[in-house]
Structure 1
Amino acid sequence: MKINDIAAPFRKTAIVAACATVLTAGTATADEHNLKIGMSFQELNNEYFVTMQEALESAAESIGAEVITTDARHDVSKQVSDVEDMIQQDIDILLLNPADSVGVETAVLAAEEAGVTTVAIDAQAEGPVDGFVGSKNYDAGYKACDYLAQELGGEGQVALLDGIPVVPILERIEGCNDALAEYDGIEVVDKQNGRQERTHAMSVTENMIQANPELDGLFSVNDIGSLGALIAINSSGNDIKLVSVDGHPEAVAEIQKDDSQFIATSAQYPADMVRVGLGLALAKHWGAETAPAEIPIDVELIDRDKAADFSW
């Protein structure tokens, strides 16, 4: 049995809850115009978000809705402009994946003023959003770093590869720090921003290894950054164990290798996340009074034993 088959009943609980809220809202009238859904991504140069985009397009097609997607490229000013453009195109629903949780508030306010239902996806957004669906990011950081500490035998020097200032990243770091703090023999010796980018993370990791030659472990806030970090680790020749968050196919492939120093990732479920987000947005759009404000999505630690049977 595949790990996804085992995890599915637990992950689908949130999906069922979201669909139930849509049903309580009632069905849209037959003469209502076709729904137009806009989704603004913080980036689309990442298979995690591409998986999310494909799931959204499939779900929207099943209900006869039109979809508009934009790529902020980690530029919150561009994201605000993108959202304003979508509002001008008369979107009914905005699914917002913030490039900056605080800086995107201008876009949220503009959507509210235009009467657009807004649900934040993956990262929470400041301002009057109608709902939020995201992974349990504290758990993701905690699970990865607890596993790292155990694999280090509860002793050693660990560095943290941080990322952009959005709530999920902050929560992953918090969870990691709390897990490592439970091991008296673990010392966090460095934390730097890898920007969640492969090339930059590689350079940052090279610097951290040079500054901390006794480094034993590294936590990266995302898999794309971790893949850059892995290049630096391998080039150093040092024995440094690496853990991360996401479940990206490239990361999972690396974890499967017997000689890899990439030992685990806390996997997210991007397709489920956006489907649940759309369900919540539809419920809010159609007036459901019992729809929740937030729906958390579980994460799963994928180590070498589980990697072969895991995929998004």
Structure 2
Amino acid sequence: MKISNIAAPFRKTAFLAASAAALTAVTASADEHTLTIGMSFQELNNEYFVTMQEALESAAESMGAEVITTDARHDVSKQVSDVEDMIQRGIDILLLNPADSVGVETAVLAAKEAGVTTVAIDAQANGPVDGFVGSKNYDAGYKACEYLAQQLDGEGQVALLDGIPVVPILQRIDGCTAALDEHEGIEIVTTQNGRQERTHAMTVTENIIQANPELDGLFSVNDIGSLGALIAIEASGQDIKLVSVDGHPEAVAEIQKADSPFIATSAQYPADMVRVGLGLAMAKYWGAETAPAEIPIDVELIDRDKAADFSW
């Protein structure tokens, strides 16, 4: 995504100036102190987060900063422990991608007490974070499910696959539900937890299809879960249209296939998200008073016509 797509949050020239000053200050003080950036991921077994990690490492290298990354593996207790360890190692900035928005508050409080600048990335975190950068997740759910409803001509049975208890997932479900509720002929027959995992989502989808033989459509909160659901849909032999959120390369490749049940995904921009998050953290770290508390990142619906030209 071009930075112009998220231009609105950056119209405050003071914030831009502060960010530039922060980068200059980092370069000027490199000999005195090497900036250390810690990032705790909810998982790294997903190309979405790997893309984010690579973008962070590239940005940090260009600034001469050190990066420490950890993988919580969707275990909030491990994530809290990981953050506490990074604090002990002397991080200056914490970019936090929560495994659980509520459960991670202990880590946020520990960072605050240690004087570490903390910005939540992708999912908001409870506690005194200094900022948040994430996708417009309500829009992501809305766009995907509005497209699904259009492709169903406003009629049919639809199931939803939700996931872990973080704000973005809840917002995607809310957006999807709002879009489907605008069509009187659409019935949401069930909402079940696909855990955002391929194998589990496949099993859950198999059960949904067996319980709802007239199912016409399915929305998954992420592409990895959708790829599992796709296996179940194709095995059933039924005409069930599938939409999702993320823009994962495998999902985009499936969407390009003319006969695939996978018809669209609301794409996020993980590399831009972490770059903007780092910029916000730098501004906060160097004391920018006009830096915004939150920066939303636009999403884009990728259907068959757009899939060939899209990549993270």
DSSP 3-state at the match of 1:27: helix
DSSP 3-state at the match of 2:264: strand
CA 1:273/1:19 → structure 2, altered by over 3 Å: closer, same or farther?
farther
- Residue identity opposite 2:4 in structure 1: P
DSSP 3-state at the match of 1:132: strand
Residue of structure 2 in register with 1:108 after alignment: 108
CA RMSD of aligned residues (A): 1.5
Q: How does 1:181-196 map to 2 (within 5 A)?
A: 181-196=181-196
DSSP 3-state at the match of 2:25: coil
Structure with more contact order per residue of length (Cα contacts < 8 Å, sep ≥ 6): 1
Distance in structure 1 (CA, Å) of the matches to 2:236 and 2:4: 42
- Residue identity opposite 1:73 in structure 2: R
DSSP 3-state at the match of 1:200: helix
CA 1:265/1:20 → structure 2, altered by over 3 Å: closer, same or farther?
farther
Residue of structure 2 in register with 1:77 after alignment: 77
How far is 1:192 from its partner?
Answer: 0.3
Among candidates 5, 12, 19, match of residue 10 of structure 1: 5
1:233 equivalent to 2:229? Answer no
- Residue identity opposite 2:19 in structure 1: V
Deviant stretches of 4+, over 6 Å: 15-18
Distance in structure 1 (CA, Å) of the matches to 2:249 and 2:49: 13
The answer (yes or no) to whether the contact 2:6–2:296 under 8 Å persists in 1 is no
Distance in structure 2 (CA, Å) of the matches to 1:16 and 1:78: 38
How far is 1:16 from its partner?
Answer: 8.2
Distance in structure 1 (CA, Å) of the matches to 2:205 and 2:273: 30
The answer (yes or no) to whether the contact 2:141–2:176 under 8 Å persists in 1 is yes
Determine what percentage of the aligned residue pairs are the same residue.
Answer: 83
How far is 1:76 from its partner?
Answer: 0.1
DSSP 3-state at the match of 1:264: strand
How far is 1:8 from its partner?
Answer: 5.2
Residue of structure 1 in register with 2:277 after alignment: 277
How far is 1:306 from its partner?
Answer: 0.1
How far is 1:13 from its partner?
Answer: 6.0
How far is 1:22 from its partner?
Answer: 1.2
Among candidates 19, 24, 27, match of residue 22 of structure 1: 19
Q: Deviations over 1:111-163 (max 9, x none)?
A: 00000000000000000000000000000000000000000000000000000
- Residue identity opposite 1:156 in structure 2: G
The answer (yes or no) to whether the contact 1:101–1:123 under 8 Å persists in 2 is yes
DSSP 3-state at the match of 1:40: strand
Q: How does 1:249-260 map to 2 (within 5 A)?
A: 249-260=249-260
- Residue identity opposite 2:51 in structure 1: T
Q: How does 1:161-200 map to 2 (within 5 A)?
A: 161-200=161-200
Residue of structure 2 in register with 1:33 after alignment: 33
The answer (yes or no) to whether the contact 1:19–1:279 under 8 Å persists in 2 is no
- Residue identity opposite 1:27 in structure 2: A
1:144 equivalent to 2:144? Answer yes
TM-score relative to the length of structure 2: 0.95
CA 1:140/1:159 → structure 2, altered by over 3 Å: closer, same or farther?
same
For structure 1, which segment, 9-18 or 255-264, has the greater mean C-alpha deviation from structure 2 after superposition? Answer: 9-18
1:89 equivalent to 2:89? Answer yes
Counting matched residue pairs gives 307
Residue of structure 2 in register with 1:310 after alignment: 310
DSSP 3-state at the match of 1:161: strand
CA 1:21/1:143 → structure 2, altered by over 3 Å: closer, same or farther?
farther
The answer (yes or no) to whether the contact 2:95–2:120 under 8 Å persists in 1 is yes
- Residue identity opposite 1:9 in structure 2: S
Distance in structure 1 (CA, Å) of the matches to 2:17 and 2:310: 28
How far is 1:11 from its partner?
Answer: 3.9
Residue of structure 2 in register with 1:160 after alignment: 160
The answer (yes or no) to whether the contact 2:283–2:291 under 8 Å persists in 1 is yes
How far is 1:20 from its partner?
Answer: 3.8
CA 1:13/1:51 → structure 2, altered by over 3 Å: closer, same or farther?
farther
- Residue identity opposite 2:177 in structure 1: N
CA 1:100/1:87 → structure 2, altered by over 3 Å: closer, same or farther?
same
Where structure 2 has 5 or more consecutive residues not aligned to the other structure, the ranges are none
1:60 equivalent to 2:63? Answer no
How far is 1:284 from its partner?
Answer: 0.3
How far is 1:10 from its partner?
Answer: 1.2
Where structure 1 has 5 or more consecutive residues not aligned to the other structure, the ranges are none
TM-score relative to the length of structure 1: 0.95
Distance in structure 2 (CA, Å) of the matches to 1:48 and 1:15: 25
The answer (yes or no) to whether the contact 1:15–1:276 under 8 Å persists in 2 is no
